[in-house]
Amino acid sequence: MRVLLYFFIFFPIIGFAQIDTNEVHKLNEIKVFAFKTVRGIGHMPEIKDGIIYAGKKTELILVDSLDANKAINNTRQILGRIPGLNIVETETGGFTANGIATRGLNPIQSIEMNTRQNGYNISADIFGYNEAYYIPPMEAVQRIEMVRGAASLPFGSQFGGLVNYVLKDAPVNKRFEFTSSQTFGSYGLFNSFSSVGGNYKKLSYYAFLQYRYMNGYRPNSAQWQVSGFGKIGYKVNNNLRVGIEYSLLRNELKMPGGLSDSLFNIDSKISTRSRNWLRSPWNIIAANLNYAMNEQTNLTITSTYLFSSRALVWRNEDGGPEALDIIDPLTNEFVPREVGIEKMNNSTTEVRLSRNYLLGNQKSTVASGIRLAYAWFDRKGGGEGSTGTDFDLNIQGNWGYNLQFTTKNMAPFIENIFKLNDQVSITPGFRLEYLESTSKGYKTKENVKLISNETRTRLFPLFGVGIQYKNSKNTNIYANISQAYKPIEYGQLEPFGVNSRIDQKLKDANGFNSDLGFRGTIKNYLNFDLGLFFMAYNNRIGVTLQTDPLTGNQYSFRTNIANSVHKGLETYIEFNVLKYLDTQSPYGLSLFNSFSLIDARYTSGAFEGKRVEAAAKTINRVGLIFNSKKLSGTFQINSVGDAFGDASNVMFSDNPVGGYIPAYTVIDFSGTYKVKYYSLKFGINNLLNKSYFTRRTDEYPGPGIIPSIGRSFYVGIAIKI
């Protein structure tokens, strides 16, 4: 393994023809005509910050150019233009952030995504517990970068690909800049955001602080949060830059509980729980180094330490959504609640080295690196809590389960963009993942203490290749195929019953993603990306019943039970009518359409031929954008097809997670009016007050249906000086 490490880090430095930077050539005068791209969305360049994107399907969202309700991180307005993006809207129903997924994958807490901020991981544990409880406030985000499945080589193995929230930076050539915005809205919304930043000699700094409070759409759904961020950068010399940054989140959410189908149909605002609480304080420290070793070679090192937790006290899922949380007339008290506390820690270092070199008469680039990570996770739950109503984490007796998990990970990778000529490039890549997962502790089931003592070690090679053909200066055809996998999660290593067993040959899920597309821009009036995709997702983990050949007794068996295939069409088209008529027009009037057609089905196992849970067949978002120097506005229609809560595809079920998720259409409008240093922001979300939901759950914050928000208004004022 040490030999491999040396190969991946140092091989790009040697053995290539040098680009002669001393030879001077006198160039003829040239004129450059630049066209501003269509508002809001674009694509990543072939190479950026030593990372190769050529041949991959990418999207780039410029957040400041969007009219959206950023005070509540309205995901469908901010990320909705990404074709095929499925959004589970549960942030005001007891979760700390809306989850996202692509291509029919599970969107809950973004567990299928590689979620990052400023290039580093911000989820609990990218392999064992890949849930995103924290994302930065959108008012602090400069851009959002998304790379589909082919992100598995430079970033990780996730089927859903990468989403990277890049925060704003210190303003250039300005010692001090201050921004502040105050937003008010329906259901008691108040959001305050302020930031400072600047440069002084070799030092740069940026920091923000956000406070948000909401009474909530439903009773018992009040929440508050404080998020903050600060970073300092120092330019040692022209070649070396170092920096350190810190992110925090503090919050407290009341969870109103889930609903049955009958309760939802009566009134989606009903709340069946009044004593459910959640806190998820988050802390991330990151240090970075960027060293230009010479004009052709660049080294970056990023080290992070995440120390966070989640604590909840709730009237648990016993009895389902129709089990009302009321005082027992016999005891004159509520039933005891359940308490759970999870502590999450991980330390990660990523080293990336890129080098340009000549191959023939074409400039090629090799990018290599390694990820070293160690995560430890402490999970306590099932404790009998108080019969009170406040946030009380004290328990009576012992925990129902007390488990400790660890993950060790080492992953070297290498990619190379070979340019055959000025039009065609091929980018092969390789990543080697080493994983060691452990599970220790106990879980009590039916008054029997089940002991966990699992250790899993595995080594996974991942290969991929991308091809890109530039048929014009601003358009290209791209194709790629890349392997992916999803390791066994912590919860799948837990003992789960007296008469239950875990397959000792339990395998990680594996498969691949592939794309074929045509994208680009035409001057400043047309932006498009038309693509097909095919994804294979093998070895999904589930539970089956088996019979012991010695005793004849049946037992539950957790094993790999099914494969699925996800295929379809993803298109994005944005056409600026006024820029088409006059490319120099100071006004813009654009129409955009983000559309996906997804066929995600099981191809083996007990549910062969059934649709994958949460996978909508169609996701269609259409919008109209107007912008001038002072005024801009966006009118957006969001139509999402139907889906199912579980793999059985039943329409109704006694199980809270099982059942139909109907199609829905939601309309949003947002606008901005700017005068000098001030901006007035306003809008309406869910204009027609549609009653709908995007998720069913069998545990917190439910059980049952988690309704989305009805019609809401917001207005805010911002200043930048």
Residue 202 lies in a domain: yes
Q: Which has the higher per-residue pLDDT, 486 or 13?
A: 486
pLDDT of 679: 95
Share of the chain above pLDDT 90, in %: 68
Q: Are strands 240-254 and 282-294 parallel, antiparallel or unpaired?
A: antiparallel
Residue 25 lies in a domain: no
Q: How many domains does the chain have?
A: 1
Q: What is the average pLDDT across 174-178? A: 95
Q: Read off the CATH number of the domain in which 348 is found.
A: 2.40.170.20
Residue 32 lies in a domain: no
pLDDT of 498: 55
pLDDT digits (tens, 9 = 90+) for 4-29: 444 444 444 444 444 444 444 444 44
CB 304 within 8 A of CB 282: no
pLDDT digits (tens, 9 = 90+) for 314-355: 888 777 777 888 888 888 889 999 999 999 999 999 999 999
| Residue numbers of the domain that contains 304 | 2-14+37-720
CB 154 within 8 A of CB 116: no
Structure tokens at 260: 């049955």
Give the model's confidence band at 186: pLDDT under 50 very low, under 70 low, under 90 confident, else very high.
very high
CB 400 within 8 A of CB 444: yes
Give the model's confidence band at 556: pLDDT under 50 very low, under 70 low, under 90 confident, else very high.
low
Average pLDDT, the chain: 89
pLDDT of 510: 92
Burial of 449 (0-12, 13-18, 19+ CB in 10 A): exposed
Q: What is the average pLDDT across 646-667? A: 88
Q: What is the average pLDDT across 61-78? A: 91
Lowest-confidence region among 240-244, 443-447, 599-603: 443-447
CA distance 113 to 130: 8
* Reduced 3-state DSSP string for 324-391: CCCCECCCCECCCCEEEEEEEEEEEEEEEEEEEEEECCEEEEEEEEEEEEEEEEEEEEEEECCCCCCC
| This model's pTM is above 0.95 | no
CA distance 378 to 375: 10
CB 336 within 8 A of CB 387: yes
In our burial notation (b when 16+ CB lie closer than 10 A, e otherwise), range 156-187 reads bbbbbbbbbbbbbebbeeeeebebbbebebbb
Q: What is the average pLDDT across 611-627? A: 94
CA distance 196 to 720: 10
pLDDT of 500: 62
pLDDT of 19: 45
Q: Residue 264 above 60 pLDDT?
A: yes
Residue 669 lies in a domain: yes
Nearest-5° Cα angle at 228, 224 to 229: 160
Residue 495 lies in a domain: yes
Q: What is the average pLDDT across 623-642? A: 95
pLDDT of 8: 43
Residue type for 251, please? N
Give the model's confidence band at 546: pLDDT under 50 very low, under 70 low, under 90 confident, else very high.
confident
Q: What is the average pLDDT across 625-648? A: 93
CA distance 342 to 283: 14
Closest CA to 195 of 170, 173, 214: 170
pLDDT of 488: 82
Give the model's confidence band at 548: pLDDT under 50 very low, under 70 low, under 90 confident, else very high.
confident
Residue 23 lies in a domain: no
pLDDT of 14: 40
Q: What is the average pLDDT across 366-371? A: 96
Q: What is the average pLDDT across 64-76? A: 90
Residue 168 lies in a domain: yes
Residue 578 lies in a domain: yes
CA distance 597 to 574: 18
Q: Residue 49 above 80 pLDDT?
A: yes
Q: What is the average pLDDT across 601-614? A: 91
Q: Residue 249 above 90 pLDDT?
A: yes
Q: What is the average pLDDT across 140-157? A: 90
pLDDT of 39: 58
In our burial notation (b when 16+ CB lie closer than 10 A, e otherwise), range 36-57 reads ebbbbbbbbebbeebbbbbbbb
